[in-house]
Structure formats: structure tokens, C-alpha cells
Structure 1
Amino acid sequence: MTDFNKLHTDKLYIDGQWQASEGGSSHPVIDPATEEEICQVVQGTAEDVDTAVAAARRAFKSWRNTSASERRDYLNAIADGMEKRREDLVQAVSRALGCPAHITKWLHVDGPIYAMRYYAERTALMEKTEKAGHSLVLREPVGVCGFITPWNYPLHQFAGKVAPALAAGCTMIAKPSENTPLQDYVMAEIIHDAGLPAGVFNLVPGAGPVVGAALAAHPEIDMVSFTGSTRAGVEVARVAAPTVKRVTQELGGKSPLIITPDADLEAAVRWGCEDVFINSGQTCTALTRMLVPAERYDEAVAIAKQMAEEVALGTGPDALMGPLSSARQRDIVRSYIEKGVAEGARLVTGGAETPENFPKGFYVKPTVFANVTNDMTIAREEIFGPVTCLIPYRDMDEAIAIANDTQYGLSSGIWARDAESALPVARRMEAGLCFVNGGEFNYDAPFGGYKRSGNGREFGEAGLDEFIQLKSVQLPE
């Protein structure tokens, strides 16, 4: 098992070296499965952000002018380092988040390695010029970036920001969540060993209202990319507004899964439940509102109940679902379950009580609600836990109306007879993603939401576009 005390968790990584914080305070990283402390991580200050931004600004002057082939080699070297230290990355995410290690490997680590190589092969796009009448259109990096990443998919979102930014020629300061910072320390070591020039990548962990706010407000940061709650995303945008920097946000969701009347109901319901229960429901794209034809509703509820009761809890090789990330998150999820019962939804299985055989750890039972209407709190607000709500519909127009009746628009799903028959429904969904008949997340395609689920895109070539400034050069005719 990885000894995280050997990481430089008492230091910040700034300007190519490990250095002490101006403040010196620390924050415990807790194993949510055992409730024991893993290690202490230093908490940066606004002054540390100033130091890191100055380093990134200096580095940008030369890094922006590196060739695409140089940046490609650096990104591939980082990906090679991630391959070599795959187990360290798995343990860093699994231990601090609580996701079973065998799931962490494919859910949290394999994709980010792929993303690094994906953007390595797209650095050449920065040297592409286009003719527009008598003008040339050039691509240039946006500049110094501040990255605020979440605790639920910490390495995934790290790669979704850092990889395209490096490919574009940007420099950066990364701030991980206080709950799950360990993978960023492993990545800082990997990046250092890859020989990335000093100041291109900087790591300043710390509290959101301190380090996150300093990044968002800093006049020498050209772009801030935030992943987290809608509430916090609004605050980041507000603080960033006076400096007119670019802001991208990947925020909350309350996503629907429409199961059509001609779908394989057993396959659809089981997949829909697993989508919610994986990562203990702490997934912004989770399809937490399952919309089922009224005539098949009771059958769907029975399948969901059986599926939830089959879920193995724990962190071992047979477990599907680990604990929630923290005591606070566990308590939030339990309060939503209690509110669902209070508002008249039928608790089919699960509930707010501590699961049997798990006296320690921040566990919550896989929970299924029936008789849910779309005006209930559990159907309106993002619970961020293993809770799914089954809602009946009479016809497809009503299903789509219910699906789109939300302030969010991050994700959606359809399970139909086949993919071809699902596409007309997908076109009517007001969401940035749509998963059809169990289709998997695709790192080659853009990821992002509509409405209050945010703006901007990550992954795919659209993810690179977020870090590009376009320049028009007007030539004489």
C-alpha cells in the first residue's frame, strides 16, 4: 500500500520545486472507509497563490512559444509516468475518496491516462492556420490558468483541465479539493520527473474560500476553470467578473433516464441503478431520475429494488459501492432520504439508517424511491449519493417534459429498443450529454452542460478550444 507520508504533502509545488507555505496550516485527509487519518496536507494562502501566479506568468513567456512537437513529448512523458505510477494514483484516489480500488482503476485512472495521450496528439492543432477571405486566423494559448477541481472525480477533472492547457501552451496553478488532494501530489511528482519547465505547472492546495477565491480574483490569471457545485460556481464567476477573465464551469446535475415502452426493461433498470450507485452516487452526470412507462412501473420498481439489495458495500474486490467521501456528505444524503419520506415518496429499499455490518465508515444504503413526482425535493435537487427516484409517465411527450423540467442540463439517458429509435428522443433532451442504451463516457467527445449545469466543454477537441485565443491577421488584398 502506498505510504502517503512519503509524498511532499507538507509543501506546495511552485516554480519547479517543493516549498513551504506562507501560512503553514494543514488539513487532515480522512479515509472514509475507516474514518482514520491518512496524512496531513498543507493549506495554501492567498500569498502562496501570488507566488505561484508570478511563476506561471514568467514561465508563460517561453512556454507559449514551444513547438507543438515539444509539448507533445512532454504530455506523452507525463502519460508514461502515470502508467508507471498507476498503482500510486489508484491508491491516492481510492483511499481518500472511498471508491473500491478495483473500480478506481478503470473509473478514475485509466481515462486520465488516455486523455494525456489524446491531447499529446492534438498539440499540432495550435499550429494550424486558416484562411478567411484576406485574413489568416491563428491560434494562441489563453495564458495563465487557475484550476479548481472537485473531490468526486479528482484525477479525471485534473486531466480534463491540465492536459488540454499544456497542449495549448498555457501555464497553470491547480487547487485540488481538501478531501482528495493526494493524486495531485503524485501528479506533481510525475510532472516534475517528466522535466516540464519550472513554473508551467504549480500546485497550491487549500480551502475554496481562500485559495479558490484568490485564483478566481487574481488579475494575472487569464482563465479559471471550476468543477463543483452550482452554488460555488456562481461565486467563482462573481469573484472573477471584475477582471473579465475567461470562466468555464462544470456544475451540478439532476439527470433523467427515459426508458421507452419498447425497451428491455430489466437491462434498462439495472443499468440505470448501477449508473447511480457507482462511485456511491457521487457523480454529477448520474441519471438519478428514472422515467418509466406507467404500465410497466410496478415491474420497474421491483427490478430496482432487487438491484439495490444486491449491491455489495465495502472497499474489497467484490464491492460495487464504497462509503461517501466524508461524514458531512453522508449526513447530507441521509437528510435528503428523510426529506423524501417526509414529502410522501415511497421508500422501496435502503434508507437513512447505518448499513448493517458497517459501524465505521461513511456508508449509506443504496436507496430506491417510488411514487415520486417531479416537484419533490429529491427530484429537484442534486443529492450526490446512492439515491434513485422512479417517476412514471403516460406518453413520450410527457416523459420529455418531465426530463427537461429541471434547472440543470448536464446529462441525460435513453434506453430504447435500439439506438436508432432513441436518437429522435435524444435530440429533444436539454442536456449536454445523452447516454443511449448504456453507451459509455467518451474522452474523444465534448463534456459539459446546458442551463445551470455550467458552460464550456472539457475533453475532445472542444476541450482544447477552451484554452485558445483566436487572432485574425488582416492581409492586404
Structure 2
Amino acid sequence: MTMTALLPNFVCGRWQSGTGAGTALLDPVLGTELVRVDATGLDLRSAFAFARRAGSAALQALTYAERAALLARVGQVLQTHRDAYDAIATANSGTVQSDSAVDIDGALFTLGQYARWGTALGSARALRDGEAVKLGKEPLFQSQHLQVPRPGLALFINAFNFPAWGLWEKAAPALLSGLAVVVKPATATAWLTQRMVQDVVDAGILPAGALSIVCGSSNGLLDALAPFDVLSFTGSADTAAVIRSHPSLARHAVRANIEADSLNSALLLPDATPGTPAFDLLVREVVREMTVKSGQKCTAIRRILVPAKVYGAAAEAIGAKLAKVSTGNPRNAGVRMGALVSRAQFEAVQQGLAQLAHATEVLHDGRTQALVDADPAVAACHQPVLLGARDADMAQAVHDVEVFGPVATLLPYRDLPHALALAQRGQGSLVASLYGDDAAALGSAALALAASHGRVHVVTPEVAQAHTGHGNVMPQSLHGGPGRAGGGAELGGLRALDFYHQRAAVQASPQVLAALGL
């Protein structure tokens, strides 16, 4: 039997292979082995020390504009390999081409945005935080707040659903801030992340130690963290709880950003009855969010809140569109929705559906349709399923269980306060979207949901062609959410740099403050 290639790790400024046999990465449609990954035997403490000593130090010797220029060059190099990334995404993630683009082009767009924003920061090496204030009656002694890059590194432990964007949406602001990056991609889809890192390393754009990758087991990563390091994790709430309790985080006060589970909602306002543009917009967005990347997005719509009187009409309209979705091998031009990333994820969706079964009814079951060009005994393809719960208050499981796949639940509400209360039953979510045509009601609802959501996406008929989508994470807006969603905050323009900087106050004379060069 021929062993597939073992993808090397890049640490301490050189490529290093693990000493174990490695874990196989599989094609989720064909079940064939693609490559293997392994991190056994890596000296992670030395790797992290090198990243801080060489990578962060070299980056922080540059200005923001100089680091922005590096980001622009990284984006250019990645663009030249765009076709290779598409092929890897098809093989390893099982995505159709349009879904691969959400990941790959989203990464390139985010890199370009931070390159432009960083250029505007110019030749500074620290950021002014507000204006100086006097500390006495006379302006002889003042306090100036500023932000300076932290002298550690940024460790990213990423999820399986966005191997491209998941790296670069974090790495762009981190590198712009002057912190070396160590990325540990989810094993199941690590190939694309590893290939992107390889292309950037081969191009010689970044200083030695500025970008490292560890593929395979995450054992020892948290142990290697030190004071002034930062950690960004995307994944399950259970794993997040383990990370938060790790001794290194407690002992060294390592700054951590967590993005975890999220039961996101789409809410149709009472004025949006069947036949109105707002009703149609909700139906369209629900179907898109259920099927893009086979529902494997942390921002996907999981709960659909509609007035009780339109429950049946909404179920019929959503089901009719889902019935047109073909599921199967993404290499087949007739397939609209590809696979889940693995058979393990397929089984997780099945288990989630079983958990919801006692509280819901099946309104549309795509599983009655045959897969296209795929063997159901081998492929991790799962057709869309629309559930419904006529008593949204009593269906507790719907507000507790996130099925990470092409599954959503329709929930009827009595009035708008009831709908808002149901949305808040998610205990903190990444995003909620509102659909209607009453600006005053939409504005009031948006404010009501803001405290429990990281983003509120409002769709009215006039923005039908302009809005960016319920589940699309744009670098200009905050990505994160309170409570169950993890309490994290990413992106949001230059707000993302806050995580990688240390805020301090310098108290001095106006002359000394002027010499800071802010």
C-alpha cells in the first residue's frame, strides 16, 4: 500500500515533518485518502520562542504602512495560486465552486482591506487612543493613552469550515499589528491552510518567524504560550471551556478570543406577509444560508421566526425552494450543494437531528431525494432538512442544540416582543437578521437584539440587491458575539487591531508627549 504525502509543518523558520505516521485527510465525497498531517515531536516551545524573538521583533521594527505593504504582497501571491486552492477545496472540503469562493475569495478580500487600511496608518509605530488630557488645573502635566503592539505572538486554533478565510481574517490584523502568527488549522481540512502558508513562505515575503503552521494534533500548543501572547480559537463551546481553563491562560493572563456555538435567527416582522418583498427576501436568505457550504457556517440561520399566521405559508415557500437544491459530488456541474467535511460531521448532523426530533416536525426532508454522482454509503453528503416547532416556547432543544449542517427550524411567534424573546433564547449569538418594511419597527427590534448579538443584519426591499447577506462576515463589521457565541470580537475594521495591542497611558509634559510621534 502506497502512503500518501505527509504535509510538513513550518516552525523555527524551516519545514519540519512530524515523527508519527500522521492523520489522513480524506475526500468527503469519494472517501479516498488525499494527504496526511502530523505534528509529533515538534519542539513547540522553541518554535514559539523563535516566532517572538525573530518574527514579532522584525515586524515591529516596521511601520504600519510597511506591514500593510507586506499584506498586499501576500494577497498578490495567493491570487496567483487561486486555481490550486479551488482544487484543494473541492477535494478536501467537498465544496462546490461557489462555496469554495466564499472561503478563498473572502480571505483575499479581507487581506486587501487590511492592506489598504494599514497604508492609511502611515509611518507610525503606535496608535493614538484619544486626545491628551490635563491632570491638573494647568496643562503642564497630561495623560495620553496609546496602543502599542504586544511583544508576544498570535496563536490561532481554527475550525474546519473555513481553512482559507479562517486563517487570513485573523492573520491580516495580527500581522498588521506586528505580531508573528502561529496557525493550527483543524485537521480535517488542513491542506488548504498549509498550502497557502507554503506559497507565502516560498515567496519570501514575510520576515523569518512571522508565519508558522502546525498541522495535526494540538497537544502542547497551549503549554507553549507565554505572557503577552494572544490566542484566538474558533470551534465548539466544549473545547472553548477546556481552553479557558488551561493553566497557561490563567498563569500568564494570555489574552483569548473565543468564537463558539451560535443559534442564529432570522426574524420576519409582522408586516411582512406572504406576497410582500420582505417575505420573499426571508425565504431566499433562509435557503441560501441552509445550503451555502452545506450549512457549515457559524453564522448560518438555525432558527426562523415568523408570525404564527404565516407559519404554513413560510414552510411551503422555503420547502419549495429547498426541493430544487441538488446535493452530491461537487465535480458534477448539476450539483448545487456539496458535502459535509467528513463522515464524522455527517454523523454529528444525524445525532443533532435525533436530538431535535422530539421537539419538532419535519417540514421538508431533502433526504428523500437521491444524491447526484455520490455513493450515500461513502459520501458525507447530507440533503437539507427544514424542521418546525408549532410551540416555540416549549421546544427547548431548538434553542439549545446547534446542528452544524443544512438544517434549520421554523418557529411561529405571537407578536414582536415574543419574537424578540425567542431570538434571545439563543443565549448570545453571532448574528440575527430582520426582514420587513417598517423602518421604525426594524430600528426598535435591532436595538433590542444588539445586546445579545454581535451583528444585526436588517433587510428591507430597498436593499434587496445591496445587502451583503445574513451569514457573510465582512471585514468592515464586527464578527463575534456574547454569551454562548463565545464573547469574542474579530474584524470590525481597525477595531481588530485592539486585540493585538496593549493600551497604556503615558503621563508627561506636552513636550514629551509630542515626542511620542503619534
**Is the 2:267–2:434 contact (alpha carbons within 8 Å) kept by the matching residues of 1?**
yes
The equivalences for 1:450-465 within 5 A come to 450-459=482-491, 460-465=493-498
The equivalences for 1:205-284 within 5 A come to 205-208=215-218, 210-211=219-220, 214-215=221-222, 218-219=225-226, 222-239=229-246, 240-263=249-272, 264-284=278-298
- Give the letter for the 1:432 counterpart: G
Structure-2 residue corresponding to 1:195? 205
What is the distance in 2 between the residues matched to 1:217 and 1:14? 13
SS in 1 for 2:480: coil
The equivalences for 1:5-404 within 5 A come to 9-21=6-18, 23-45=19-41, 47-59=42-54, 60-105=56-101, 107-123=102-118, 125=121, 127-130=126-129, 131-133=131-133, 134-142=142-150, 143-192=152-201, 193-208=203-218, 210-211=219-220, 214-215=221-222, 218-219=225-226, 222-239=229-246, 240-263=249-272, 264-314=278-328, 315=330, 316-341=332-357, 343-350=358-365, 355-357=370-372, 358-359=374-375, 360-372=378-390, 373-374=392-393, 375-404=395-424
Deviation at 1:420, TM superposition (A): 6.1
**Is the 1:138–1:472 contact (alpha carbons within 8 Å) kept by the matching residues of 2?**
yes
- Give the letter for the 1:20 counterpart: S
The CA RMSD measured in Å over matched residues stands at: 2.2
Q: What are the superposed Cα offsets for residues 243-278 of structure 1, whole Å, 9 maximum, x if unpaired?
A: 211000111100111111222323312321221221
SS in 2 for 1:428: helix
Counterparts in 2 of 1:362 and 1:241: CA distance versus 1, 3 Å: same
Counterparts in 2 of 1:61 and 1:270: CA distance versus 1, 3 Å: closer
**Is the 1:29–1:38 contact (alpha carbons within 8 Å) kept by the matching residues of 2?**
yes
TM-score (norm 2): 0.84
TM-score (norm 1): 0.91
Higher alpha-carbon Rg? 2
Greater shift, 180-189 or 314-323, is seen at 314-323
SS in 1 for 2:479: coil
Structure-1 residue corresponding to 2:458? 436
How many residues are paired up?
A: 464
- Give the letter for the 2:60 counterpart: R
What is the distance in 2 between the residues matched to 1:44 and 1:140? 35
Deviation at 1:152, TM superposition (A): 0.8
What is the distance in 2 between the residues matched to 1:306 and 1:318? 18
What is the distance in 2 between the residues matched to 1:273 and 1:419? 25
**Is the 2:64–2:176 contact (alpha carbons within 8 Å) kept by the matching residues of 1?**
yes
**Is the 1:336–1:378 contact (alpha carbons within 8 Å) kept by the matching residues of 2?**
no
Q: What are the superposed Cα offsets for residues 437-469 of structure 1, whole Å, 9 maximum, x if unpaired?
A: 263232211211011211232122221221111
5+ residue gaps, structure 2, are 134-141, 273-277, 511-518
SS in 1 for 2:166: helix
Structure-2 residue corresponding to 1:408? 428
Counterparts in 2 of 1:93 and 1:423: CA distance versus 1, 3 Å: farther
What is the distance in 2 between the residues matched to 1:379 and 1:220? 38
SS in 2 for 1:433: strand
SS in 2 for 1:18: strand
Counterparts in 2 of 1:94 and 1:433: CA distance versus 1, 3 Å: farther
Q: Percent identity?
A: 26
What is the distance in 2 between the residues matched to 1:169 and 1:317? 43
Deviation at 1:224, TM superposition (A): 0.6
Counterparts in 2 of 1:173 and 1:17: CA distance versus 1, 3 Å: same
5+ residue gaps, structure 1, are none
What is the distance in 2 between the residues matched to 1:165 and 1:356? 42
Moved over 4 A (4+): 351-357, 418-421
**Is the 2:287–2:318 contact (alpha carbons within 8 Å) kept by the matching residues of 1?**
yes
SS in 2 for 1:219: coil
- Give the letter for the 1:367 counterpart: V
